[in-house]
């Protein structure tokens, strides 16, 4: 059995270029190489196929019968390779696959409409969500996007993008407010039932309220302390008392009549919201699409 000599794509491309131009010189110019290299490519191809592809004279280069047969197959094969390359490039550019997001419990639910909108445009995109208020490790836990409210850890392995700013306000259910004394100023707050958030460190988060030009911090004895931001909102909706939550989280409930904004003039600037993405050479198209969608949605609903 004789040794097999495989034809390379480069050799086939050189053959096609010569066949189309009927010239080794013009083929070399079109390929950006030398006439000698084109000649060697054709020779290797002929050796691999065991046949002559061209009839060469001093005046012309013509395809043999075998050359005409191989040209048709070569053009079809090269076109198939080009189409496959384009399909792979489109796949890299199109958002396809699963994106894993770690989101704050209350704030994360606001992003459901944004993700639903994105899936309508890109149905091959899927999501895995974690909704919690703990500080996860984005890199070791394999998250594509981690959204955090407040201060961020110093982490050189992450790319950070600011999503929005929040404001802190006081909210309670209409039923609770009907049953209790009217609240005219921050001085009335200590007499009311407080629902307070317990942070990841275990510390109860005090309320901060604007009282004229000053911002005061109120440490309260809560009727309910919760470490889950979503549960904090639900407790207020159920009438446990007054809670201090972020404006974006509260607004859908205010619009639906489930919560009332208490002392709007006492709202204070809240923490920023950032997205963290594990640092890499290039952000995947699927991750970039989700991040851009979240940013656009928050800007639109601001």
161 & 171 share domain: no
Residue 1 is predicted with a pLDDT of 40
Here the CATH number for the domain that contains residue 35 is 1.10.10.10
Q: Is residue 254 domain-shared with residue 221, that is, in the same domain?
A: yes
Domain count, the chain: 3
What is the predicted pLDDT for the residue at 4? 52
CATH assignment of the domain containing 254: 3.40.190.10
222 and 181 part of one domain: yes
pLDDT score, position 102: 92
Q: Report the pLDDT value the prediction gives residue 69, as an integer from 0 to 100.
A: 92
159 in helix, strand or coil?
Answer: strand
Q: Are 174 and 264 in a shared domain?
A: yes
Same domain membership, residue 188 and residue 148: no
Question: For residue 222, what is the DSSP state?
Answer: -
DSSP annotation of 186: G
Q: What is the CA angle 262-265-266, rounded to 5? A: 75
Domain range spanning residue 231?
167-268
Distance CA 45, CA 5 (A): 9
pLDDT tens, the chain, 302 aa long: 445 556 788 999 999 999 988 899 888 988 899 999 999 999 999 898 999 999 888 778 899 999 899 999 998 888 888 878 776 666 666 788 899 999 988 889 899 999 999 999 999 999 999 988 776 666 667 889 999 888 776 666 778 889 999 999 999 999 999 999 889 999 999 889 999 998 878 889 999 999 888 899 988 889 999 988 889 999 999 999 999 999 999 999 999 999 999 999 999 998 899 998 887 657 888 999 999 999 999 988 87
Gap between the Cα atoms of 141 and 143, Å rounded: 6
Residue 4 lies in a domain: no
The answer as to whether 2 is a domain residue is no
- 130 and 154 inside one domain: yes
| Distance, CA of 26 to CA of 28 (rounded, Å) | 5
Last residue of a domain, one of 47, 64, 93: 93
């Amino acid at each position: 059995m004789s040794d097999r000599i495989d034809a390379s794509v480069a050799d086939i491309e050189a053959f096609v270029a010569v066949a189309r131009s009927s010239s080794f010189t013009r083929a070399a110019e079109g390929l950006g190489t030398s006439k000698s290299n084109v000649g060697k490519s054709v020779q290797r191809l002929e050796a691999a196929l065991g046949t002559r592809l061209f009839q060469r004279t001093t005046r012309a280069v013509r395809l043999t019968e075998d050359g005409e047969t191989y040209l048709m197959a070569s053009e079809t094969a090269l076109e198939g390779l080009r189409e496959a390359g384009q399909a792979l490039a489109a796949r890299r550019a199109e958002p396809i696959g699963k994106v894993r997001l770690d989101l704050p419990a209350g704030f994360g639910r606001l992003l459901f409409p944004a993700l639903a909108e994105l899936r309508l445009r890109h149905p091959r995109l899927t999501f895995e969500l974690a909704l919690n208020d703990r500080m996860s490790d984005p890199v070791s836990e394999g998250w594509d996007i981690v959204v955090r409210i407040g201060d961020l850890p110093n982490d050189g392995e992450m790319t950070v993008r600011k999503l929005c700013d929040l404001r802190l306000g006081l909210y309670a259910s209409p039923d609770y407010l009907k049953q209790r004394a009217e609240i005219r100023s921050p001085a009335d707050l200590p007499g009311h039932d407080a629902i307070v958030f317990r942070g990841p460190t275990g510390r109860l988060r005090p309320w901060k309220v604007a009282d004229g030009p000053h911002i005061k911090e109120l440490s309260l004895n809560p009727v309910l302390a919760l470490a889950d931001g979503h549960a904090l909102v639900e407790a207020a909706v159920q009438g446990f008392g007054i809670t201090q939550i972020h404006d974006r989280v509260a607004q859908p409930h205010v619009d639906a009549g489930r919560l009332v904004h208490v002392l709007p003039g006492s709202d204070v600037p809240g923490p920023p919201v950032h997205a963290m993405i594990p640092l890499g050479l290039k952000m995947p198209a699927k991750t970039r699409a989700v991040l851009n969608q979240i940013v656009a949605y928050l800007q639109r609903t601001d």
